[in-house]
């Protein structure tokens, strides 16, 4: 009896602390539910309707999803998004790791280079797209540089080229995402114990062995985060594509995000646009789950 009395007094205090904690997180939770959870649920609801955004909606069942999966434009658009993963995620992560290996040493001028490399991250993607559209023009800086080094024969309007427009668009993503990867990897590298590098050095290991034996395994978490963020940026890309090519030439750079926009605002087909948005979300979840599974550290 004497032992249960203090326990009974502690329970109301714990309950009171939980109530206070819930009150603290309630404003943020309400904002998240209002602007993230509820719009997602409403999009799923709209995907089962036949609605032009003005007239009363009618039930469409699963016909919108049937139309999405039988739409001949979805396959090429999805393939373009997968190709963009190489430029938005794979190459930036590789460049970020390379820069991390270089910036860990005492290289002169690397502080300024670090700032320049991260600069694209502070610029809006719309501004980035407009700038690169000018650079890729016939008389843009890219073609002027090629003519200056004697490669005038390969100059062209890069974003209007049928075969190279997607590559040119992807390189913009590489330029924009590499700085983010580098900053994430540098932040992760700062937590690595210096004694590990000293142990490798005592064992006769050089910079390459230090990177692969110590730095790379220690950055597993940061690599996962960078891969997830950049892969989502590639699959859900819209603003950069819309500003630079608008899906052209001849839909060679069309991506699923751009199809959602066209269905909703050009064709006023809110139901099919919502269904495609739901499918795109599921595709993103599958890719993110695969990345987290592949990079998960075995116990």
pLDDT in tens, 42-81: 999 999 999 988 888 899 889 999 998 898 888 899 899 9
Element (H, E) at 59: strand 58-59
- List, for residues 12-34, the tens digit of each pLDDT value: 778 888 888 899 999 999 999 99
**Confidence band of 9 (pLDDT split at 50, 70, 90):** low
- Exposure on the CB side of residue 110, measured as CA atoms within 13 A: 12
- Rounded Cα distance between 271 and 47, Å, is 5
- Rounded Cα distance between 168 and 166, Å, is 5
- Rounded Cα distance between 13 and 136, Å, is 65
- List, for residues 151-183, the tens digit of each pLDDT value: 888 888 899 998 999 999 999 999 989 988 988
- Rounded Cα distance between 182 and 92, Å, is 8
Domains, in order of start, for the chain: 14-62 (no CATH), 74-295 (1.10.3720.10)
pTM, full prediction: 0.84
Instruction: Mention every residue, 6+ apart, whose C-beta is less than 8 A from residue 147.
Output: 155
* Residue among 80, 38, 49, 41 at smallest CA distance from 272: 49
Number of H helices, E strands in the chain: 16, 2
Secondary structure, 3-state, 121-169: HHCCHHHHHHHHHHHCCCCCHHHHHHHHCCCHHHCCCHHHCCCCHHHHH
Element (H, E) at 114: helix 110-118
Compute, in degrees rounded to 10, the torsion defined by CA atoms 17, 22, 28, 34: 180
- List, for residues 238-288, the tens digit of each pLDDT value: 989 999 999 888 889 999 999 999 999 999 999 999 999 999 999 999 999
């Amino acid at each position: 009896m004497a032992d249960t009395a203090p326990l009974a007094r502690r329970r109301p205090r714990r309950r009171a602390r939980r109530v206070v904690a819930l009150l603290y997180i309630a404003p943020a939770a309400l904002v998240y539910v209002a602007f993230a959870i509820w719009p997602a649920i409403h999009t799923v609801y709209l995907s089962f309707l036949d609605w032009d955004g003005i007239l009363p909606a009618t039930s469409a069942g699963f016909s919108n999803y049937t139309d999405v999966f039988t739409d001949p434009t979805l396959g090429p658009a999805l393939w373009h998004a997968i190709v963009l993963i190489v430029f938005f995620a794979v190459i930036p992560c590789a460049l970020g790791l390379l820069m991390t290996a270089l910036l860990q040493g005492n290289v002169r001028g690397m502080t300024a280079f670090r700032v320049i490399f991260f600069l694209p991250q502070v610029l809006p993607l719309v501004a980035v797209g407009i700038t690169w559209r000018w650079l890729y023009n016939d008389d843009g800086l890219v073609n002027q540089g090629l003519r200056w080094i004697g490669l005038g024969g390969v100059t062209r309007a890069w974003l209007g080229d049928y075969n190279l427009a997607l590559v040119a668009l992807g390189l913009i993503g590489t330029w924009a995402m590499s700085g983010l990867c580098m900053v994430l990897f540098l932040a992760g590298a700062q937590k690595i114990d210096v004694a590990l590098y000293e142990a490798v050095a005592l064992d006769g290991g050089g910079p390459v062995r230090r990177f692969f034996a110590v730095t790379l395994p220690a950055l597993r978490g940061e690599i996962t985060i960078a891969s997830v963020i950049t892969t989502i940026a590639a699959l859900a890309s819209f603003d950069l594509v819309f500003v630079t090519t608008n899906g052209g030439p001849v839909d060679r750079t069309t991506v699923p995000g751009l199809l959602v926009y066209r269905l909703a605002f050009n064709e006023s087909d809110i139901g099919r646009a919502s269904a495609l948005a739901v499918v795109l979300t599921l595709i993103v979840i599958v890719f993110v789950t695969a990345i987290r599974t592949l990079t998960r550290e075995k116990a």
